[in-house]
Amino acid sequence: YNCDVCARGYLGSAPNCSPCGECFDNWDAILNNLSEETDKVIQAAREIKRTGATGAYTQEFDIMEKELKDVKQLLQNTTKSTIDLGHIDTYIDKLRVGLKESHDSLNGVGKELENATQRIYLSNLALADLRVKVNVLKETASALKANATHLQESNVEGALNLTREAADHSHQIQAKGSETQDEIAKAERQCKRTEALVGRTSTQFTQGQQDNSRAVDKLDQELTQLERNIPELNNQVCHKMGDPCDQLCGGAGCGFCGGISCEDGAYTKSSKAFSFATDAENKIYEKEAKAEELFRGISQAKQETSSAKDVASEALLAASVAQNRSETSVQQSSDLIKRLQGFLTTDGATALEIQNLASQAQQKNIQLQPEQITELAKNINTTIASLTDINTILADTAEDLQLAQESKDQADRAKAEAENILTTAQTFLDTLEEAEEIQEKIKTAVDTANSNIEQAKIDLTQITSETGEAQQKANETVTEVNQLQEQVKTLQTGFLKNGKDAQEVKAEAESMTEE
């Protein structure tokens, strides 16, 4: 627009411009809305052309397909003891909601397309109305022109002014008509392009709807098949068909599954198996503790047996050493006895003679004291010193002196021999006493050694016997324990089952009592 021309929607000559009025505003608003709706339809058609009819809902369909795959995988991999029917029911509800949303979305797309078609139709009607209004304006302009001519003929000056105003007004109307024609032509072109685009993509859109319908039908079939399979699956899991819910055993979506009267259900079996496994684990821990304690006792007994064996071996060795020593002592005693017998049988003074001589020697009585004997010796020496002619005396008494000396020597020899005999006799007596003591000790040691050997032999025999009996008893005990274990396993299985059933019955009774 030029700065000296009134803007669109305004009448008059600049700067004196006045609004066209409410009719123009409504007409302009209608055109703007049609233009915006047409742009939206074109953008939607472009989106359909680019991604297909399900492009706007690809993510929702992917999510539904993933959930269906998860359900299939869950049904394929789930065992009777681990299946969670609540999750399956949740998946089914999600699938139903997804399918409903998909249907709603597809219906929304159809409605949006229908609304776009209706808006295009209304735009055509509005354009036709605008064409009528343009024709009316043209007729009005012609009438005004005729009136201007008539006024000009009646009043030249007034007609001139009116003609000028009518001309200006006609120019303005013509300008608006030209603009309107441009907008109408643009709208027509836009509508034709939209129709052409819709015509080109209608086949693809229809095909997409058909594909979506087939996919939805397939999902409905899978859900129907799944719903048909659920009762049998519920029978395997909860021991009842659960169609819809069983009062005793429950089922999928019932809030409970299995029970006392539903022993063949996988859920009840798995629950009992888990409970048995838990109890067995606790029992195993207790048995393991007792086994460790028993093993420590057996180890200690083994150590004590080994210690007893070592003590017996040491006693046997000590007995052997004592036996060797006793045999050596006996041999030494025999040798000593032989020597004594040989000494006693040798020619010489007998024991009685030696005893008599010793008694005589002891009976000799010398009354002088040592001091007197010393004094007497001094007197003898003084007397000898006072003698004269000693040599003559000695010569005269030489034979007597020699005889006396010989007697003295003989007496000395007899004394020495007697002393020797006395010493030998005393030594013999002492040796004899020592030999008797040694013989007694040897006899005692031999008796003790023999007693220890006999006791060791008895202990070894008893240990061997007890070991054999213990081994035999241990083997018999192992056999009995194995048999008892088999019986205990059977009894424990029945006992645990009865115990669990009793607990469940008690819990049910308490629950019913509370209710």
Q: Concatenate the DSSP letters of all residues of 75-107 into one string.
A: HHH--TTT--HHHHHHHHHHHHHHHHHHHHHHH
CB 234 within 8 A of CB 264: no
The reply to whether omega before 19 is within 30° of 0 (cis) is no
What pLDDT is attached to residue 83?
A: 47
Q: Taking all residues of the chain, what is their mean pLDDT, rounded to a whole number?
A: 70
Lowest mean pLDDT among 64-68, 202-206, 229-233: 64-68
Task: Classify 269 as helix, strand or coil.
Answer: helix
Residue 48 has pLDDT above 70, yes or no: no
CA 72 to chain centre: 31
Residue 85 has pLDDT above 60, yes or no: no
Instruction: Give 131's contacts (C-beta < 8 A, 6+ positions apart).
Output: 184
Choose between 308 and 384: higher pLDDT. 308
C-alpha span between 179 and 190 (Å, rounded): 16
C-alpha span between 467 and 459 (Å, rounded): 12
Residue 86 has pLDDT above 60, yes or no: no
Residue 282 has pLDDT above 80, yes or no: yes
What pLDDT is attached to residue 168?
A: 73
pLDDT band at 287 (very low <50, low <70, confident <90, very high): confident
What percentage of the chain reaches a pLDDT higher than 90? 0
Contacts 24+ apart (CB under 8 A), 216-222: 216/99, 216/102, 216/103, 219/64, 219/68, 219/95, 219/99, 220/99, 222/68
What pLDDT is attached to residue 79?
A: 42
Residue type for position 130: L
What percentage of the chain reaches a pLDDT higher than 70? 48
Residue 88 has pLDDT above 60, yes or no: no
Average pLDDT of the residues in 320-326? 73
Average pLDDT of the residues in 406-412? 67
What pLDDT is attached to residue 366?
A: 57
Average pLDDT of the residues in 97-117? 67
Q: Using the structure block, give the residue that is written with the tokens 């040592």.
A: 370
Residue type for position 248: L
Cα distances (angstroms) measured from residue 355 to each of 137, 348, 358, 398, 424: 194, 13, 5, 37, 12
What pLDDT is attached to residue 16?
A: 83
Nearest to residue 233, comparing CAs of 263, 265, 268?
A: 265
Average pLDDT of the residues in 190-201? 71
Average pLDDT of the residues in 186-201? 72
Q: What is the pLDDT of residues 155-167, one digit of tens each?
A: 555 555 655 676 6
| 398 half-sphere exposure, CB direction, 13 A CA radius | 6
What pLDDT is attached to residue 390?
A: 59
C-alpha span between 509 and 515 (Å, rounded): 10
What pLDDT is attached to residue 252?
A: 72
What pLDDT is attached to residue 38?
A: 72
What pLDDT is attached to residue 54?
A: 47
Residue 461 has pLDDT above 70, yes or no: yes
Average pLDDT of the residues in 401-423? 68
Residue 463 has pLDDT above 70, yes or no: no
Cα distances (angstroms) measured from residue 411 to each of 83, 347, 426: 134, 22, 22
Average pLDDT of the residues in 260-286? 80
What pLDDT is attached to residue 265?
A: 82
CA 357 to chain centre: 107
Average pLDDT of the residues in 12-19? 82
pLDDT band at 342 (very low <50, low <70, confident <90, very high): low
Q: What is the pLDDT of residues 344-396, one digit of tens each?
A: 565 555 556 666 666 666 566 656 566 776 777 677 667 666 655 656 665 66
C-alpha span between 2 and 4 (Å, rounded): 5
Each domain of the chain, given as residue ranges in start order, spans 10-123, 156-237
Which H or E run contains 55?
none
Cβ neighbours around 2 below 10 Å, total:
6
C-alpha span between 346 and 19 (Å, rounded): 182
Average pLDDT of the residues in 400-407? 65
What pLDDT is attached to residue 46?
A: 64
